[in-house]
Amino acid sequence: MMKNLVYFFREALKSMARNHLLSFATISTVAICILILGMAILATLNASHLITRLESDLEIMSYLHKDLSPAQTVKVEQELKAIAGVDSVRFVSRDEALRYLQESYGEDRYDLEKTLGNNPLPDAYEIKAVDPHEVPLIAQQIEQIVGVERVSYGKELVNNLFLATKWVRVLSLIFIVLLSLGAIFLIATTIRLAIFSRRKEVYLMKLIGSTDWFVRWPFFIEGILLGTAGALIAILLLAVGYDTLIGSIQSVPFMPVVSNRTMLLEVYSGLVLIGATLGVLGTYISLNRFLDI
């Protein structure tokens, strides 16, 4: 078995050396496909990361009636915490809300408290959900609590965000699948040319009694080597480019990017596996559709 394996690798390497221009074309094809595929995957990951970040910032503001006593206010808080799916509840006093308005929209020379006279803002509770998708359902339950005057969570914004999340993920998946199919087609075409250039050798091997799989294995190994080589080149370019992008964007607070090294390593490792798999699939398609062996 080991002797055969050595023979298969030797034949694959000889074929790559003999057809060096074709091998270069295949590696370049794989590198381009994997590079584009890797860019699409990283773009999808960053889009999902941004959407998840936006979802995690979703909160429900529950405004209380102004005439509630401290005991009634505490009772409302207890009922809020008892709702299934609620992650945290934070009391926001009317004075804190006015200070926030002053800091956000007022100016040093413009005193909102003096302008408004009495503080018209109500006390409120800031509620966050464990699952952002449960925000509408939790908001409906909060509206039923006695003492709650109004509930606000940006209904239209939340619905649009969830719709955008769905379409980003669906379109990204479709794009990645189409790129993968294109890569398989290009690799299959290139491998087919390599097989065609060795058709006499294959024919002679069949004449002396070689089995179908004995003939196929060198081609499969060649496909794996070409696919892996192309993937490694693509990953090198992708890693350098992405690290440069991270360095220039990380200083921008409203543009969060995926920078987790473990996650990126998993992506790059996956791309190597994809490159080898594309090489095998391309070889398999070429052998079974264009050779009668």
- 248-270, pLDDT tens digit by residue? 776 555 566 777 888 889 989 98
pLDDT by residue (tens digit) across 173-214? 787 788 777 767 776 776 677 667 666 766 777 677 767 677
How far is residue 176 CA from its own chain's centroid? 11
Distance CA 66, CA 64 (A): 6
**How many angstroms separate the most distant Cα atoms in the chain?**
102
Residues in CB range of 46: below 8 A, 6 or more apart? 257, 258
The pLDDT score that the predictor gives to residue 105 is: 59
The pLDDT score that the predictor gives to residue 237 is: 93
The pLDDT score that the predictor gives to residue 233 is: 93
Which portions of the chain are predicted below pLDDT 70?
1-2, 55, 101-117, 155-158, 161, 183, 187, 190-191, 194-195, 197-199, 201-202, 206, 210, 212, 250-256, 288-293
Name all domains of the chain by residue range, CATH numbers in brackets: 2-54+160-290 (no CATH), 59-152 (3.30.70.3040)
For 247-256, the CB contacts below 8 A with 24+ separation are: 256/49, 256/50, 256/53
The pLDDT score that the predictor gives to residue 168 is: 74
Give strand ranges (E) for the chain: 60-64, 86-92, 124-129, 148-152
Distance CA 193, CA 19 (A): 10
The candidate with the shortest Cα–Cα distance to 191, out of 26, 15, 24, 6, is 26
The pLDDT score that the predictor gives to residue 107 is: 57
Is 94:119 a contact under the CB 8 Å cutoff?
yes
Local structure of residue 69 (DSSP, 8 states)? -
Pairing of strands 148-152, 60-64: antiparallel
The pLDDT score that the predictor gives to residue 7 is: 73
Backbone angles phi, psi at 33, to 5 degrees: -65, -45
Q: What is the dihedral of CA 227, 260, 251, 131, to 10 degrees?
A: 120
Q: What angle do CA 220, 224, 226 make, to 5 degrees?
A: 115
Predicted structure pTM score: 0.65
Question: What number of helices (H) and strands (E) belong to the chain?
Answer: 10, 4
How far is residue 229 CA from its own chain's centroid? 24
The pLDDT score that the predictor gives to residue 23 is: 78
CA distances, 226 to each of 39, 47, 151, 283 (Å): 20, 31, 60, 11
Distance CA 152, CA 235 (A): 46
